[in-house]
Every structure is written in C-alpha cells, then in structure tokens.
C-alpha cells in the first residue's frame, strides 16, 4: 500500500490539510477536484474580467497582453454585504491555471488567512487603472458595494513570496500593496496544489511511468503544476527514472 503522505514533515502538514479539503468536497483519491464548486462553500464569487467597468481600453489591453504573466488573480479583502468576496481571474491564463489560482484563494479561506500587510512599492508610471482618466477607478474592487474604495485585487497571487502590485490609491510612481504574509501564501498555494494533485495518486501515476502532461490532463491542471508537485514531494528522481525505463522498454 502506498503512503498517502509525502516524506517531509512540512509537506505532510500541507497534505493533511489538502486531504481535508478533498474530503469536504467528497471526491475520491484519484478524482479531479473542482475548485469552482468549493468556491461556493468558501463564499467566493468569481467575477468575469470583462465585467469590470471604468478600466481603460489601454489598461485592459496591457493586463491581458504585455502584463498577462504578471498577475493571476485574487480575492478582494473586504466582503460584500452578504458576506461573499469577489474573485477575479486572469482570462489570459486559461482554464487550468485559473483553477490553480482559484484553489489557492479557496485554501486561504479554509485555512483562516486574513490579508495583513500593506506596503508602498515604487514603480514606473507606465500603465495604471484608468490610464486615460487618472481620477477614475475600476468598479469591481475591494468592497465593490462601496464605489468610493479603490481596488486591492492582488497580482501574482499564485506565486508565494512575490509582492503584489495592485494599486490602492497610490501616487503615479507608487503602488500600495495589500497581501498575506509569506507563510500564509506558501501554505495556501501548497495546500491548494496538493488538493488538486493529491500525493498518493500522484505517486501511483509516477510509478506507472505516466508523463506529467498525462497526469495534468487527468486532474485538469497545468503540466507545470504537476511538475511542481512531483518536485516538492520528492518524486522527481522516481519520475525521471520511471520515464527513462518506460522509454527503454518501448
């Protein structure tokens, strides 16, 4: 029988929390997990990027073009009057990456994390919300029910440890960034990834010689996420060995 937990103590703790999420969702060991279904229980409302009003065409094109890889999405820190929180996902990233981003936000909620850091980051005044109209802010933002507040949707939410670059009424050459602390970011991403690609099933697929792309299709995630899971759970050597052996047999 395969061990359901990875070897390192840190990853064991992440895995246990991820298994708790999967158990809550009622999915079997090798069954894909749907983060959009879990978002309902976490009271996260996914908002379509195209529904954001007050965002200039220049800024919209930049966010989905040159800057598409600089942000993945995030949840607003202030809830709506009904207690739900808005989540915006980057439509340029595709379904698989969006699933991982949303799963991280779900993990933040289930782990009880709260945004607790606000920092000023210098930046070049190239593109900002409402570039053609500096006095106007997008409508979908933190506390969307309050048109007077500025946005705090984090960029780079999928990348633990990376500072966000979301503007919250900052000067043209500054960014006010609100984020979770590093430990919370790491835990949410790790737990979310483990919930999407559980260790026991992953190890079974690895020993069978299945490629990361094949495993990714099974769990409906990106190949990069599967490779991340293989590496952090110390399965990379076994993965490469099984792949080499299978290739030699062919």
Between these two residues, 248 and 172, which has the higher pLDDT value? 248
- Which pLDDT score is estimated for 175? 39
Instruction: List the domain boundaries for the chain.
Output: 9-32+197-244, 36-187
pLDDT of residue 26: 94
Q: Mean pLDDT, to the nearest integer, of 161-169? A: 35
Tens digit of pLDDT for each residue in 52-80? 777 788 887 887 888 777 777 777 777 88
pLDDT at 127: 32
DSSP lists the bridge partners of residue 121 as 175
Are 14 and 190 a contacting pair, CB within 8 Å? yes
Tokens of residue 75, six digits = 């949840």
C-alpha–C-alpha distance, residues 60 and 76, integer Å: 19
The per-residue pLDDT for 163 is 36
User: In the predicted model, is pLDDT for residue 128 greater than 50?
Assistant: no
- Examine the pLDDT at 149 and tell me if it is beyond 70: no
Residue 116 has pLDDT above 90, yes or no: no
Structure tokens given for 3: 């061990």
> How many whole angstroms separate alpha carbon 61 and alpha carbon 170?
21
What does the alpha-carbon distance between residue 165 and residue 142 come to, in Å, rounded to a whole number? 15
Return d(Cα 192, Cα 145) in angstroms, integer. 29
Q: Please indicate whether residue 173 or residue 32 has the higher confidence score (pLDDT).
A: 32
Mean pLDDT of 201-209: 95
Neighbouring CB atoms inside 10 A of 238's CB total: 14
Q: What is the pLDDT of residues 15-27, one digit of tens each?
A: 999 999 999 999 9
Of all residues in the chain, the percent with pLDDT exceeding 70 is 69
Q: Is the pLDDT assigned to residue 184 strictly greater than 80?
A: yes
pLDDT at 102: 93
């Amino acid at each position: 029988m395969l061990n359901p937990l990875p070897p390192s103590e840190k990853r064991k703790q992440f895995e246990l929390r991820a298994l708790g999420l999967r158990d809550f969702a009622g999915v079997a060991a090798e069954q894909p997990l749907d983060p959009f279904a879990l978002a309902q229980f976490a009271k996260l409302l996914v908002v379509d990027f195209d529904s954001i009003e007050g965002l200039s065409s220049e800024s919209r094109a930049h966010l989905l073009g040159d800057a598409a890889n600089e942000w993945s999405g995030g949840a607003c820190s202030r809830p709506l009057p009904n207690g739900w929180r808005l989540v915006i996902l980057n439509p340029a990233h595709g379904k698989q990456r969006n699933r991982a981003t949303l799963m991280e936000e779900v993990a933040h909620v289930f782990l009880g994390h709260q945004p607790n850091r606000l920092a000023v980051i210098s930046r070049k005044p190239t593109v900002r919300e409402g570039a053609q109209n500096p006095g106007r802010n997008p409508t979908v933002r933190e506390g969307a029910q309050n048109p007077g507040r500025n946005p705090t949707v984090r960029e780079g939410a999928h990348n633990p440890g990376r500072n966000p670059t979301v503007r919250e009424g900052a000067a043209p050459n500054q960014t006010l960034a609100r984020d979770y602390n590093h430990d919370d970011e790491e835990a949410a991403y790790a737990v979310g990834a483990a919930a999407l690609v559980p260790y026991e099933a992953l190890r079974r697929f690895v020993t069978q010689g299945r490629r990361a792309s094949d495993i990714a299709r099974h769990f409906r995630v990106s190949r990069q996420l599967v490779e991340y899971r293989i590496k952090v759970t110390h399965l990379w050597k076994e993965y490469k060995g099984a792949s080499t052996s299978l290739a030699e047999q062919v």
